[in-house]
């Protein structure tokens, strides 16, 4: 065979191979996590008594999938994280962003989206984190202005070359999730406008075949946004405790939809939405087959329960054990003593003594700061009950409370703010809070200090709160008075509530003049206990069920909603009768 024939044969085979590659499908395995909240080690599930999660189990599955692809036994792999790596456990309280960077550098995700919690250490903490990581960080709807380091370290999008396909990755964050965060000059842009602009560039300038969007928002928001995004094939989301599954779930979580959830747009394009719960209890595992023009040809998958049946990666376990030593130090450092059980897990559905103590600590902290007339300017405090994640059984530990107990029980380390709320709006907020008394509700109840609330849960929503009494501020002797609907009250709340979290979106719209207390919920609780060598917090008087016998013997005018009208009517009537008698 001549050289010319050899040359023609080689080129013909090359052309055939290229045509075959260009017409073939992309088989892609998307491994995804989100809302890790610094739950690096396995954690105990109180309802089942079993241990779940841990980055060493995640590392094992990611490593195995990547090895199978390299050996030709499995599909191409993308490991993606949707954000909220920071905050949520004692591990972050101890190791901060440095620990997060060490662990994720070993995991080597293909892309990580910036979530709301990544701003918990203010803009400086995020900047320092981006300097340490050795994997791509992305956010498509952020503009950094003067934040040069973030401009350099966080990509607008990412392109991965996989088996002859170009896969584009974009990311977004709901603006309202960081509305009160200290963001420096970072601006959160409109999601749809930002992503459509970047996706158009990826599709037509970079010739990207497939686009995956990483979302930190909520499942409902992702479904709405999917209809408006052009060229996006898959949304991998987090930001809510959404569990998706097909068939009987492997544990106690109840799925809200199939995995993945499917959205069909008006033009007929299919968008897949995948969530994998939170805290690394599950790892999302989604197989998708794409055609050359980026259309979804087929898909299957399920979240994988990271229980004891999943082996732990030895190298990651070694790293975790090294970091754990400093964490355990705080479990041996005594903070105070207490001879009663501190209930935190059930705070969501009822008044609890640990919640009461935390809220009182907030009020006391502000009272110590205050220098005006009376004893304080903010005698009321509110916090969503989900901020407390565990109980503290001090009687089992020789009546000791350790620093680690508080750091575990209040892991989100929420900044505190003083806001002004008009009485009528405060009443409506408390009415919303009654929905949290139902375990099936997505709304969380409110922990309070400085309020006495009588409610009737059997009434329909809007008529449950019967009576509210408020502790006075700027008074010589603290005492409780009926809620004045027209008065502005200064209230201490967490940054999470301030941005409208846990179903309290109304708070974003009705608060006035927010001022930072320059302290966090766990910090003020620790300071409170450091000053008290012995505590025995109790329950009673803050959340009072309405007594039906009271309703049978008394007029309905004692219901809070009609109380003022009845009170004024009776007062006028009394004055009128008195004048007649004169």
Q: Render pLDDT for 515-567 as a digit per residue (tens, 0 to 9).
A: 999 999 999 999 999 999 999 999 988 988 886 655 544 433 333 334 444 43
Let me know if residue 276 belongs to a domain.
Answer: yes
User: Are residues 358 and 391 both part of a single domain?
Assistant: yes
Question: Residue 2 has what pLDDT?
Answer: 52
Judgement on whether residues 435 and 464 belong to the same structural domain of the protein: yes
- Residue at a domain's end among 323, 349, 371: 323
- Shared-domain flag, residues 338 and 319: no
Q: Looking at 289, 323, 357, which one is the last position of a domain?
A: 323
- Looking at the structure, do residues 155 and 78 belong to the same domain, yes or no? yes
pLDDT at 553: 42
- Choose one of 323, 350, 377: the last residue of a domain: 323
Which residue numbers in the chain have pLDDT < 50? Answer: 1, 3-4, 6-22, 552-571, 575, 578-579, 581-582
In a domain, 568, yes or no: no
Asked if residue 349 and residue 261 are part of one domain, the reply reads no
Asked, for residue 557, whether it belongs to a domain, the answer is no
The answer to whether position 14 is within a domain reads: no
As a whole number of angstroms, the distance between CA 377 and CA 371 comes to 9
* 161 and 200 both lie in a single domain: yes
| Domain coverage including residue 515 | 334-546
Please give the structure tokens belonging to residue 455: 């409610």
Residue 364 within any structural domain of the chain:
yes
Both tokens of residue 385? 């009950």
Please give the C-alpha separations between residue 540 and each of 350, 351, 450, 545, in angstroms, as whole numbers.
11, 8, 13, 11
**Intra-chain end-to-end CA distance of the chain, in Å:** 131
Residue with tokens 């009576």: 467
Supply the DSSP string of 158-220, one letter for each residue. EEEEETTEEEEEEEEE-GGGGTTS--TT-EEPPHHHHHHHHHHHHHHTS--SEEEEEEES-HH
Helix ranges restricted to H, 400-556: 403-409, 423-434, 495-498, 506-510, 521-530, 548-553
Pairing of strands 210-216, 234-238: parallel
> Torsions phi, psi of 89, nearest 5?
-155, 170
Task: State residue 348's pLDDT score.
Answer: 81
**What DSSP state is assigned to residue 70?**
H
Distances (CA, A) of 343 to 203, 354, 394: 54, 5, 10
Give me the pLDDT at residue 502, please. 82
What is the CA 443 to chain-centroid distance, rounded?
A: 13
Distance of alpha carbon 351 from alpha carbon 353, whole angstroms: 7
Same-domain check for residues 397 and 312: no
- Rounded to whole angstroms, the Cα distance separating 61 from 59 reads 6
In a domain, 174, yes or no: yes
pLDDT of residue 567: 39
15 in any annotated domain: no
Beta strands in 12-106 (DSSP E): 26-33, 43-45, 50-52, 76-81
Q: Supply the pLDDT for residue 563.
A: 44
User: Do 314 and 340 fall into the same domain?
Assistant: no
Are residues 241 and 94 both part of a single domain? yes
Q: Are 41 and 88 in contact (CB under 8 A)?
A: no
Find the largest Cα–Cα distance for the chain. 131
> With the CA atoms of 313, 315, 316 and 317 taken in that order, what torsion angle do they form, in degrees rounded to the nearest 10?
80
How far is residue 176's CA from residue 11's CA, in Å, rounded to a whole number?
56
420 and 401 fall within a common domain: yes
pLDDT computed for residue 239 by the predictor: 80
CATH number of domain containing 196? 3.60.21.10
pLDDT (0 to 100) of residue 15? 39
Q: Count how many Cα atoms sit within 13 Å of the Cα of residue 309 in the half-sphere of its side chain.
A: 5
pLDDT digits (tens, 9 = 90+) for 478-504: 999 999 999 999 999 999 999 888 888
Taking the CA atoms of the chain, what radius of gyration do you get in angstroms?
28
CA-CA-CA-CA torsion for 289, 291, 293, 294, nearest 10 degrees?
A: -10
Strands (E) across 444-511 are located at 446-449, 451-455, 465-471, 480-482, 488-494
Same domain, yes or no: 469 and 433: yes
Q: Are residues 265 and 405 in the same domain?
A: no
Give me the number of domains the chain comprises.
2
pLDDT reported for residue 345: 85
Establish if 517 belongs to a structural domain.
yes
């Amino acid at each position: 065979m001549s050289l010319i024939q050899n040359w023609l044969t080689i080129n013909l085979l090359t052309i055939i191979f290229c045509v075959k590659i260009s017409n073939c499908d992309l088989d892609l395995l998307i491994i995804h996590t989100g809302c890790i909240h610094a739950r690096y080690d396995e954690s105990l599930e109180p309802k089942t008594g079993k241990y779940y999660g841990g980055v060493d189990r995640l590392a094992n599955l990611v490593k195995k999938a990547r090895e199978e692809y390299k050996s030709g036994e499995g599909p191409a792999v993308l490991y993606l994280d949707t954000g909220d790596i920071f905050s949520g456990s004692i591990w972050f309280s101890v190791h901060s962003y440095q620990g997060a960077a060490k662990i994720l550098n070993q995991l080597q995700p293909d892309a990580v989206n910036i979530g709301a919690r990544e701003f918990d250490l203010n803009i400086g903490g995020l900047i320092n984190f981006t300097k340490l990581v050795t994997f791509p960080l992305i956010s498509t709807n952020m503009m950094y202005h003067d934040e040069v380091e973030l401009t350099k370290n966080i990509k607008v999008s990412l392109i991965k070359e996989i088996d002859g396909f170009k896969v584009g990755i974009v990311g977004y964050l709901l603006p309202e999730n960081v509305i009160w965060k200290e963001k420096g000059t970072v601006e959160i842009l409109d999601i749809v406008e930002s992503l459509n602009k970047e996706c158009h560039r990826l599709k037509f300038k970079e010739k990207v075949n497939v686009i995956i969007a990483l979302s930190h928002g909520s499942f409902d928001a992702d479904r709405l946004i999917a209809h408006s995004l052009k060229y996006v094939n898959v949304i991998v989301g987090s930001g809510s405790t959404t569990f998706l599954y097909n068939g009987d779930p492997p544990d106690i979580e109840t799925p809200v939809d199939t995995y993945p959830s499917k959205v069909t747009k008006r033009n007929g394009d299919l968008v897949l939405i995948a969530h994998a719960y939170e805290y690394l209890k599950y790892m999302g595992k989604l197989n998708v087959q794409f055609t050359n023009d980026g259309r979804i040809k087929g898909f299957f998958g399920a979240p994988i329960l990271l229980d004891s049946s999943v082996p732990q990666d030895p190298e990651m376990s070694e790293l975790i054990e090294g970091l754990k030593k400093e964490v355990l130090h705080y479990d041996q450092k005594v903070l105070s003593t207490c001879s009663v059980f501190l209930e935190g897990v059930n705070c969501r559905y009822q008044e609890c003594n640990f919640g009461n103590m935390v809220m009182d600590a907030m009020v006391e902290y502000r009272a110590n700061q205050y220098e005006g007339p009376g004893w304080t300017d903010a005698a009321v405090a509110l916090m969503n009950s989900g901020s407390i994640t565990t109980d503290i059984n001090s009687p089992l530990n020789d009546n000791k409370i350790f620093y680690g107990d508080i750091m575990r029980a209040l892991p989100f380390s929420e900044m505190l703010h003083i806001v002004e709320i008009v009485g009528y709006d405060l009443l409506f907020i408390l009415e919303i809070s009654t929905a949290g008394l139902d375990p099936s509700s997505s709304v969380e109840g409110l922990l309070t200090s400085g309020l006495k609330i009588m409610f009737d849960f059997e009434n329909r929503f809007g008529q449950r709160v019967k009576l509210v009494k408020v502790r006075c501020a700027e008074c010589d002797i603290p005492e409780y008075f009926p809620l004045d609907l027209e008065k502005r009250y200064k209230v201490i709340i967490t940054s999470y509530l301030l941005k409208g979290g846990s179903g309290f979106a109304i708070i974003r719209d009705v608060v006035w003049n927010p001022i930072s207390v320059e302290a966090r919920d766990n910090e003020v609780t620790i300071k409170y206990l450091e000053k008290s060598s012995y505590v025995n917090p109790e329950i009673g008087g803050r959340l009072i069920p309405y007594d039906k016998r009271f309703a049978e013997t008394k007029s309905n005018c004692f219901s809070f909603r009609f109380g003022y009208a009845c009170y004024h009517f009776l007062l006028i009537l009394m004055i009128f009768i008195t004048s007649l008698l004169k």
